[in-house]
Each structure stands twice: as C-alpha cells, then as structure tokens.
C-alpha cells in the first residue's frame, strides 16, 4: 500500500499526448498542479491551434516548469508521438509518467469513468504521488507501475487478440519470446515506468511513419502491440511490473489482476440463462466442447515427427523436421488460396509434395497418424456439452462453428463418440465453408445464413470467438480453455519450465524434451480444467480463483495428477532399459514394490507381453542387513546403514538388524543419537556380536528358504532384476551377499552409494535420478512417495520356514495400513492415467517419454511449493513408517 513520503530526487518526465484539449484542462492539469519535485513536461498534440492553447495553459498554470510542446501526427494513438518525438529526451530522465487524453479507452458504457479511475491511480494526492516516486526510489527492481483496470475492461483483453502477428517483428527485434495466453500490460496505455526498464524500446529509431494513421480503435495495429509490450520489455531487462490498486489500497507485486474476478464469478447457471435468452446457440469445438490430453495442438505434430524419425530413419530431410516442414506446407497451401479460403489436411499434405521428396508411403503414414492421434487424444468437456444438450432440449437451433483443417469425414466419429453429433443442427467448419472466425469472414457467413440477432456464441478463443463477435454486436459467452486456465494457475511455471531446454542443448534434444513434457503433462489440462467454471461440475479439483492454488479433492485425481507422469516415465525407462533385455525375471522389493509390481504387471498384460515376468519379493532392509551379517559381520553396520537415528539402542538393533531384545534389557533405556554416538554404537555392536550373529543366522536361513521356494538359488544361470524406489541399493547389496547372486537393480533414484552393489557383481541404475541428483530426489520426495508406495501388511521381519512353501512374517500394521483404501485409490488414479495415455498414443510413445524426467517431477514440485494442495481427507491419510531412523510414523504432508 502506497503511503506519504517526501518526494525523492528522481528526474521525472511526464509525457502527455493531447488530442482532446478539454480532457487536458479539466481532468489532467488539476491533478498535476501539486506534483512534487521539478518534472519535465513533454507534450505532443496534432495541430498548431491546439499547440497554442496548450502553451497558454502551461504558461498560466506551470510558469516555472520545464515544458516542451511539439506538434506530431496523430498516428499510433499516444504511442506514436511518444516514441517518435520524445525517445531521446526520455533517456535523459529516470522515470516516465505516460498519460493521454483519449476519451474512448475500451468498448463499454463507462469509458470516461475508467479514464478518470486510471488518472486517479497514476496521479493521486501529492502525498500519493510522492509515495509512487518513493516506491521506485526504494526498490530498484520495479520497472513499471500500472494502474489497476477499470471494471469495464473484460478479462479477455489481456491477451494478444488480433495483435500477435503484428507484434512478432518487434518482439524478435527486442529478443523477447512471445507469451501465450494471458499476460500483464497497462490496459488503457497509461503508466509509470523506470526509463532504464524500457531502454530497448526507446533505443529503436522510431518515426511517425512507422505507425498507421488513426482509423478507429480496432486491434491489430502497432500501437496496440507497443501497449502490450510495455511490461514484457521491462521484464526482459530484469525489472518487475507492479500494479497499484488505489481502491483496494494495495500494490500487487509482480502481477496484475487482469479483471479475472469478472470471469471467476461466472457459473454454469449464467451460461444456461444466456442460452434461455437466445433462439440460436453456436459453440466452438476445440477447447470449448472438446479438449485434448495433449498440452497443445502442436503435441500431435511433435508426436508424428518422433514416429517418422523412428519408422523411417533414412529420410532426408529427417522425420524429426516434420513440425517445421508441416508449418511450411500449411503456409504454402494457404498462399495457393491467396489467404482467402481455409485449407484442408489434404491441401496441406498436397503442398508437402512440392517442398520435399518424401515417398508417398511416408506422407500417407504421417497424415494417417496425425488424424488418428488427434482423434484419440480428444476428450469432452462435460459441463459445456451439458450446455449444448440443454440448448438442444429447449428447442434452440444449435450450431458448431470451428476453424479447423479437419473435415466432417475426420470429425464426425469424434463428435459421435462424444455424444455431440445428435445434438447439433448445423456445422460450420472453416475447411468446408472457406471462411475463418479469426479472420472474420466466417462471421460474415453466419450473418448471411443465420439470425445472428438472436444468436449466442459460446467459445474459448479470445480473438476468434469473443473479440470478433463483440465487434459485430453478436452476443457471446466466453469459456476459458483448459490450457489458458492452466497458464493462469500457480502450476504454470512447474509445467512450462519443465519443457524449457537448458542453454546449449541441441535442437533434437530440445524437441524430444518438449514432446515428452507435452504428452506427460497434457492430461492435466483435461483433468484439472475440464470445467471452465471454478466450481467443478464433478468432484476432483477446486480453486478459489484462477490464480490460487489447486486443491485436489478426490484421491483418484491426485493419483492421476501427482503420480501419473512420474510413474509413466519410470515405467517407460524400465521397460525400454537395455539391461532389462538381459533379465529373465524381475522382483519388486516390498513394501514399495507392491503397487509398482501391480502397475508393471498391468502394462505387461495389456500392452507388452514380451516383458519378463515379475513378482513381489517380500523383504526389508532389516532382514537383508541382518542376514548378510552371518556371512560378513560389520561392526559399523548400524552406523552407516542409514542417514541418522534418534531413539534407544534396543530399538536401533531391532530396526536395523532384526534383533529383538527382552523387555527388561537395559538397552531399552539407553538413548542413542546418530551420527553423534558412533563410537558408542560401534562398541555396543561388538559387545553384542554373538546375539547379532545368532539372529543373522535365522534371518539368512529364512531368506534363503524363501528365495529357494521362488526358484532362486546360488549358482543359478538365470538372471534376475530387482525394482524399488531406491536410493542406496542397500537391500540389493545384502541380497547379493546372502544369495550369492549378482542382481540388476532398477530404481527411481540411485544415490552414489548404490554403486557398492558392483563389489559383488551387481548393477544399479537410477531411472529418474542418479548420483547427487538422486540425493536431491530423496530429500524432496521420499517421504511422500514412500507414504503411498507401501503394502497392505506391516514390514517384513522374517519368514516362517516350518511350512511349505515358506511364508513371510510381518510386523504389526501401521497408519498406512489403516488408510490403505485411500492409498489404493491414489494408485487407481495413476493406473487410469497410464492406461489412458497408452490407449491414446500407443506403446510407441514410450520411447518419447524417455526424455521426460523434468516433466515427470513437475506436479510434485508444484505440490512441494504450494501450487497444488491435497484435501485434508487425503493429506491426513499419508504417513511413512520410519523406525529405521527412529522417527516412527511421519506425516507425509505437513
């Protein structure tokens, strides 16, 4: 919140473009009368007559100030005069206050009120202005301070709308990557800025002729681009954009509100009411009625590129270049239509033949795969389809209006499967009607063919569906796409940062990383944002606002979101690992292996029957370590077999060596803290050697008996693998000692210590993280993952060998076993995620997922940082039993 401060000694330039003299005189000059300090006034206007009037105003009101007035063409709204006239002068100042006299700031009925609201925020009381100056003076990271928007500006204005293609040359010149979705900018074109933050923009040699002459307020001109680039430029130079909301009495640090609260208040009831008031209702198709389990439509093209590269490795140019080549082919196809008609997929692939000489077989494969995958990854948005059904059942004429290169032949099966086709009276596709919504001529066609005075259009695209209809006075109802809802959420950086390539990474690896991330994280769009309304139609996830953390309500949803990408990547790396082809049988080490084995077996049964058979091997660290002592006694085993310990010596012996002392043994009262008490623990281990070895012999005989019952014996020629969440390979190392067999270990994470399995002939692989990265993985995620990946029984403490075959013995169940139904539902969600992904993309996608380690952890990072939270019902059921370190039951979610 801004407060009164003495005005600092910053060189301030106040730039004003004066088109309307009355606004300057009545609305602006009174606010500048008591401006603190000694600012420079940089004034532009478009005629000599106005110049003389302005000069008189300033001579009368500001006789002691530096005032510079120039006549400049009225081009580019207020930005043309600012940049072409004053850029050199601005570079001699520290701060810029940019205001203008424009009367119509945006479509609406309260434009003047909004303008005054903006001016009140930019030029509050003298004390408030001093507070703004102090804000810049005290915090040198502030680059732009924009006013909070007035209530007449719709939320969808905070996108590129029709300006993106105009912006691209400027963004490239400024080395700025174009943002997707919603982003901050000072709507209304008035703001405070640190001149240094805008230096790249001011150093461009602008001329008036760069800006088109004024012809209304339609988007798609350079002035609208510059307005949207103000905050982008500031951030690109390392500065921050803040927003001052005078009415709320606060400064939003680093973000603007974008009037998203206006959208957040919309419910399904509002949409139904709008439908009731219409005679005809049209719906956009993609991202409105249907969404994809792919992050973007480009995911389909990246998938085709990956398959081409694998299926036809000798192609020239390479199949991995498909994405670029397809864009070129589509551009050429549109040029053939002089950019007036739309194109079909057939047109695009026909253009392929003109730009390269791939065999027909290859092009037919690519086209077939593109259609097939797109059909497979589309999912209904149930709440919007319910609105379509409501319109149909209430006698409304229902339409689908879509910009797409697909035709009815390709789309009808999708519409039929989603239950849409029977609800629609007419379908307008750009590929068949030769007009496009984003270009505007599709709406001209609808005006000619339909009664648009009684029409309501429901769509997600802020330009094609909303701005275009608004310009034509066609009623519309905006439903945010799932992708834009994701982009607005706190999850966004955790999703999109995982797709970003580190500097120096090759273009091939960057494309592989992008594809893996798109596929792994794409299902989150449909899962979390299937409903365009904040109150979900069905229980699953919930957010208080578009920008607040997402609470996962249902355990199945949490399993799909948090575990699905992780397990899909882990299993892909497991089943495609070169070492697995050398293994004839694999064992999932309990208790973590219980659910992992279930998922692997599901994969093997339904998709990959050639994989080696897998079973659960009931074992624990305490049993394996104990058994190994009978063959190689280690007096330091209690010290280096864990990170640390806090408890009694008796409990330590039981937890790590399976030695259970009598209740009256004094070691139950001997407090131990590791690593501080290493010397004491070593001495006690040596003192208790006989007791330890006696238990070790029992553990070894039981373990060997169980292994023999499973067909495992020393000297066997069969090659075995073990699978576990991992870390130090402790169980594998001691199993190798006891069984006299080398094993191949496959772990989510294998720390440096896991290499010790090589001493007895084994191997250990960290499939998601290895070495020091595995250490970080354990610290960040082990408690949470081990709380879920457990078994319905307590820890293995030995084997009953008096029966045939031997059976494992278990410790008393813990809190995880009490909540096992919840854990099962979490894994059910993950299994559903795996099945959905493989049914949609096929097993061919597994190779692409080998590059998904960053994306696999994205949702867990989001939860760790608070962008995702779990419902109390789920959080209170997650515990990790950690007697090994003396911590008993540890809550996995703090």
**Spatial separation of the C-alpha atoms in residues 210 and 76, rounded to whole Å:** 8
pLDDT surpassing 80 at residue 718:
no
Per-residue pLDDT of 295-306, as tens digits, reads 988 999 999 999
**Spatial separation of the C-alpha atoms in residues 161 and 272, rounded to whole Å:** 26
Phi, psi of 185 (to 5 degrees): -160, 160
Structure tokens at 695: 């238990």
**Spatial separation of the C-alpha atoms in residues 495 and 487, rounded to whole Å:** 9
Average pLDDT over residues 43-50: 95
pLDDT surpassing 70 at residue 538:
no
Average pLDDT over residues 845-873: 96
pLDDT band at 212 (very low <50, low <70, confident <90, very high): confident
pLDDT for 542 equals 83
Largest CA distance in the chain: 109
Q: What average pLDDT does the structure give for the chain?
A: 93
**Half-sphere exposure of residue 5: CA atoms within 13 angstroms, side-chain side:** 16
**Half-sphere exposure of residue 364: CA atoms within 13 angstroms, side-chain side:** 3
pLDDT surpassing 50 at residue 408:
yes
pLDDT for 217 equals 56
Lowest mean pLDDT among 147-156, 552-561, 755-764: 147-156
Tokens 């950086």 — which residue?
493
pLDDT for 117 equals 84
pLDDT for 109 equals 39
Neighbours of 432 (CB within 10 A): 15
Structure tokens at 500: 């970003």
> pTM of the full predicted structure?
0.92
**Spatial separation of the C-alpha atoms in residues 880 and 878, rounded to whole Å:** 7
**Spatial separation of the C-alpha atoms in residues 521 and 294, rounded to whole Å:** 7
Per-residue pLDDT of 640-696, as tens digits, reads 888 889 999 999 999 999 999 999 999 999 999 999 999 999 999 999 999 999 999
Cβ within 8 Å of residue 684, ≥6 positions away: 649, 667, 670
Q: How far is CA 122 from the centre of its chain?
A: 34
Nearest-10 Cα torsion for 101, 106, 110, 116:
-30
pLDDT band at 714 (very low <50, low <70, confident <90, very high): confident
**Spatial separation of the C-alpha atoms in residues 878 and 134, rounded to whole Å:** 48
Residues 556, 558, 561, CA angle at the centre, nearest 5°?
110
Cβ within 8 Å of residue 126, ≥6 positions away: 34, 35, 36
- C-alpha R_g of the chain: 33
pLDDT surpassing 60 at residue 96:
yes
492-498 own/partner pairs: CB under 8 Å, 24+ apart: 494/858, 494/859, 494/861, 494/862, 494/865, 494/867, 495/295, 495/521, 495/524, 495/855, 495/858, 495/862, 497/858, 498/854, 498/855, 498/857, 498/858
Taking CA atoms, 321 is separated from 107, 318, 861, in Å, by 44, 6, 32
pLDDT band at 503 (very low <50, low <70, confident <90, very high): confident
pLDDT for 447 equals 95
**3-state secondary structure (DSSP) of residue 714:** coil
**Half-sphere exposure of residue 233: CA atoms within 13 angstroms, side-chain side:** 26
Per-residue pLDDT of 597-619, as tens digits, reads 999 999 999 999 999 999 999 99
Tokens 């957040």 — which residue?
264
Per-residue pLDDT of 817-835, as tens digits, reads 999 999 999 999 999 999 9
Nearest-10 Cα torsion for 513, 516, 522, 528:
-90
Per-residue pLDDT of 234-250, as tens digits, reads 999 999 999 999 988 89
Cβ within 8 Å of residue 738, ≥6 positions away: 624, 627, 628, 631, 700, 703, 704
Phi, psi of 645 (to 5 degrees): -160, 145
pLDDT surpassing 50 at residue 5:
no
Asked whether 240 and 234 are in contact (CB, 8 A), the reply is yes
pLDDT for 107 equals 44
Taking CA atoms, 544 is separated from 541, 548, 551, 558, 776, in Å, by 11, 6, 9, 18, 32
Average pLDDT over residues 349-372: 93
Cβ within 8 Å of residue 142, ≥6 positions away: 135, 136, 194, 239, 240, 242
DSSP letter string, 723-777: EEEEES-HHHHHHHHHHT--EEEEEEEE-GGGGGGGGGT-EEEEEEEETHHHHHH
pLDDT for 537 equals 65
Structure tokens at 47: 């005629």
Tokens 């400024």 — which residue?
174
Structure tokens at 729: 């390979």
Residue 687: Cβ-neighbour burial (10 angstroms; 0-12, 13-18, 19+): exposed
Phi, psi of 788 (to 5 degrees): -95, -45
**Spatial separation of the C-alpha atoms in residues 101 and 20, rounded to whole Å:** 6
**Spatial separation of the C-alpha atoms in residues 854 and 445, rounded to whole Å:** 46
Average pLDDT over residues 573-595: 94
Tokens 């002939």 — which residue?
761
pLDDT for 890 equals 87
Asked whether 153 and 114 are in contact (CB, 8 A), the reply is yes
Structure tokens at 34: 């008591």
Average pLDDT over residues 716-736: 91
pLDDT surpassing 60 at residue 416:
yes
pLDDT band at 110 (very low <50, low <70, confident <90, very high): very low
Average pLDDT over residues 463-472: 95
pLDDT surpassing 80 at residue 493:
yes
pLDDT for 351 equals 92
Question: Taking each helix axis from N to C terminus, what angle separates 382-393 and 268-276, rounded to the nearest 10 degrees?
Answer: 20
pLDDT surpassing 60 at residue 397:
yes
pLDDT for 104 equals 62
- Strand segments (E) across 168-322: 191-194, 240-245, 250-252, 280-283, 290-292
Per-residue pLDDT of 52-68, as tens digits, reads 999 999 999 899 889 99
Average pLDDT over residues 252-272: 95
């Amino acid at each position: 919140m801004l407060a009164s401060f003495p005005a600092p000694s910053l060189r301030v330039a106040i730039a004003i473009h004066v088109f309307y003299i009355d606004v300057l005189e009545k609305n602006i000059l009174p606010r500048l009368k008591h401006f603190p300090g000694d600012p420079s006034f940089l004034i532009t206007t478009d005629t000599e007559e106005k110049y003389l009037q302005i000069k008189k105003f300033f001579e009368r009101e500001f006789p002691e100030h530096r005032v510079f007035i120039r006549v400049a063409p009225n081009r580019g709204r207020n930005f043309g005069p600012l940049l072409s006239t004053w850029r050199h002068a601005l570079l001699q100042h520290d701060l810029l206050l940019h205001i203008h006299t424009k009367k119509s700031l945006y479509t609406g009925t309260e434009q003047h009120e909004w303008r005054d609201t903006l001016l009140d925020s930019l030029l509050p009381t003298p004390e408030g202005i001093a507070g703004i100056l102090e804000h810049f003076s005290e915090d040198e990271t502030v680059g732009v301070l924009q006013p909070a928007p007035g209530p007449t500006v719709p939320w969808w204005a905070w996108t590129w709308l029709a300006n993106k293609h105009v912006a691209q040359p400027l963004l490239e010149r400024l080395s700025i990557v174009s943002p997707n979705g919603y982003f901050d900018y000072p709507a209304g074109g008035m703001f405070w800025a640190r001149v240094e933050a805008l230096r790249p923009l001011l150093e461009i040699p602008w001329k008036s002729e760069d800006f088109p002459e004024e012809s209304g307020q339609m988007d798609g001109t350079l002035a609208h681009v510059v307005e949207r680039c103000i905050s982008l430029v500031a951030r690109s130079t390392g500065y921050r954009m803040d927003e001052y909301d005078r009415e709320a009495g606060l400064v939003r640090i680093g973000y603007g509100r974008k009037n998203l609260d206006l959208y957040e208040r919309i419910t399904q009831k509002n949409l139904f009411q709008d439908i009731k008031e219409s005679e005809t209702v049209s719906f956009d198709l993609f991202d409105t009625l249907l969404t994809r389990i792919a992050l973007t439509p480009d995911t389909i093209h990246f998938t085709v590129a990956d398959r081409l590269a694998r299926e036809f490795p000798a192609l020239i140019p390479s199949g991995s270049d498909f994405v670029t080549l397809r864009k070129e082919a589509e551009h050429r196809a549109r040029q053939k239509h002089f950019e007036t008609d739309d194109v079909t997929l057939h047109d695009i692939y026909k253009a392929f033949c003109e730009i390269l000489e791939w065999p027909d077989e290859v092009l037919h494969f690519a086209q077939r795969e593109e259609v097939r995958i797109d059909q497979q990854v589309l999912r209904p948005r149930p709440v919007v389809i319910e609105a379509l059904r409501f319109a149909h059942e209430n006698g409304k004429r229902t339409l689908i209006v879509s910009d797409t290169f697909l035709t009815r032949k390709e789309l009808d099966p999708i519409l039929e499967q989603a239950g849409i086709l029977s609800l629609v009276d007419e379908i307008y596709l750009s590929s068949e009607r030769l007009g496009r919504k984003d270009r505007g001529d599709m709406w001209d066609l609808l005006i000619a063919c339909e009664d648009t005075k009684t029409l309501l259009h429901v769509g997600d695209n802020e330009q094609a569906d909303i701005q275009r209809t608004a310009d034509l006075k066609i009623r519309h109802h905006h439903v945010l796409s799932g992708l834009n809802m994701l982009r607005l959420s706190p999850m966004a950086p955790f999703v999109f940062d995982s797709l970003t390539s580190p500097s120096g990474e090759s273009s091939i690896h960057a494309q592989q990383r992008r594809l893996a991330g798109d596929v792994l994280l794409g299902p989150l769009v449909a899962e979390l944002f299937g409903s365009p309304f904040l109150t979900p139609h069905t229980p699953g996830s919930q957010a208080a606002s578009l920008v607040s953390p997402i609470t996962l309500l249902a355990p199945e949803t949490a399993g799909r979101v948090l575990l699905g990408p992780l397990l899909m990547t882990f299993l892909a790396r497991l089943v495609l690992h070169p070492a697995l082809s050398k293994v004839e049988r694999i064992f999932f080490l309990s208790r973590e292996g219980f659910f992992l084995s279930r998922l692997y077996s599901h994969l093997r049964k339904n998709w990959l029957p050639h994989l080696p058979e897998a079973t659960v091997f009931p074992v624990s660290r305490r049993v394996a370590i104990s058994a190994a002592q009978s063959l190689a006694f280690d007096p330091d085993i209690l010290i280096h077999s864990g990170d640390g310990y806090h408890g009694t010596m008796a409990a330590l012996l039981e937890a790590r060596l399976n030695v259970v002392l009598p209740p009256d043994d004094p070691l139950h009262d001997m407090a131990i803290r590791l690593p501080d008490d290493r010397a004491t623990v070593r001495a006690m281990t040596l003192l208790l050697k006989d007791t330890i070895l006696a238990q070790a012999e029992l553990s070894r005989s039981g373990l060997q008996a169980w292994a023999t019952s499973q067909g495992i014996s020393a000297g066997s020629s069969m090659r075995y693998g073990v699978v576990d969440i991992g870390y130090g390979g402790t169980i594998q190392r001691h199993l190798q000692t006891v069984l006299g067999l080398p094993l191949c270990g496959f772990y989510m994470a294998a720390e440096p210590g896991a290499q010790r399995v090589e001493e007895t002939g084994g191997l250990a692989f960290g499939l998601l993280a290895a070495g020091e990265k595995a250490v970080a993985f354990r610290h960040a995620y082990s408690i949470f993952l081990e709380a879920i990946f457990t078994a319905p029984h307590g820890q293995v403490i030995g084997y009953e060998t008096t029966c045939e075959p031997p059976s494992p013995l278990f410790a008393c169940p813990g809190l995880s076993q009490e909540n096992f139904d919840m854990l099962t539902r979490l894994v059910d969600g993950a299994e559903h995620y795996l099945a959905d992904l493989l049914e949609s993309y096929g097993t061919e996608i597994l190779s692409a997922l080998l590059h998904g380690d960053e994306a696999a952890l994205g949702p867990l990072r989001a939860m760790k940082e608070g962008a995702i939270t779990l419902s109390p019902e789920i959080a209170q059921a997650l515990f990790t039993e950690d007697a090994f370190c003396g911590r008993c039951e540890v809550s996995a979610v703090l």
